[in-house]
Amino acid sequence: MADELSDKRALSAASLVIGGVLILLGILFLIGQIFDFAFGFNLGRFTWPFFVIIPGVVVFLSAFFLTPDSGKALAIFGSLVTMTGAILFVQNSTGLWASWAYAWALIFPTSVGLGLLLYSLLRGQADTLRTGTNMALIGAGIFLVGLFFFEGIIGVSGFNFGLSGLCWPVLLIGLGVLVLLLNFLPRRNRA
């Protein structure tokens, strides 16, 4: 009886999430139609990545309606899809499509790590927290190295920063963030 009641609550919560997403999509479409009609501005040209981002967020949120093990897998998948949509949004807005040369590191392992990190924080799973943090930091490091190499040295997007341009400050900021994050991680006894 208790399991049946729990299943009904989970189904009701999932219905609320799905209904809310449908309403948000409808509002987004309506705004797009109004802008295109009234102002001649094609909002869809800039917002199409949300067709990837929104399902990713829904999948991630759905992870909390499942058992912890099943939810963890769904959280990882949702974070992968959401990060892919976020990268597509940035690239579509800026036209920097060549950044795929290094942006893949934000999808794996960074988004997997962020998904595990967020899921474990919200579920209170300390064992997964460390794994998620490590994966996110490794992915961010790969991304920064790729950014430095492909943009600062090769210039795949057409920028010519040189070594004295933006790459060194970005690298220093990333290194500083890494040092700060490592400071917050619990230390093992080195005796």
Spatial distance between the Cα atoms of 169 and 175, rounded to a whole number of angstroms: 10
> pTM score, two decimals?
0.71
Residue 119 burial (C-beta neighbours within 10 Å; 0-12, 13-18, 19+): buried
Domain boundaries, the chain: 48-184
pLDDT (0 to 100) of residue 162: 59
pLDDT (0 to 100) of residue 114: 96
**Residue 157 per-residue DSSP state:** T
pLDDT (0 to 100) of residue 127: 86
pLDDT (0 to 100) of residue 149: 84
pLDDT along the chain (191 residues), means of 10: 62 74 80 68 78 93 89 95 96 93 97 96 90 95 90 79 63 83 72 49
Task: Name the strand (E) or helix (H) holding 97.
Answer: none
pLDDT (0 to 100) of residue 95: 92
Q: Which two tokens stand for residue 109?
A: 């392992």
Spatial distance between the Cα atoms of 133 and 42, rounded to a whole number of angstroms: 39
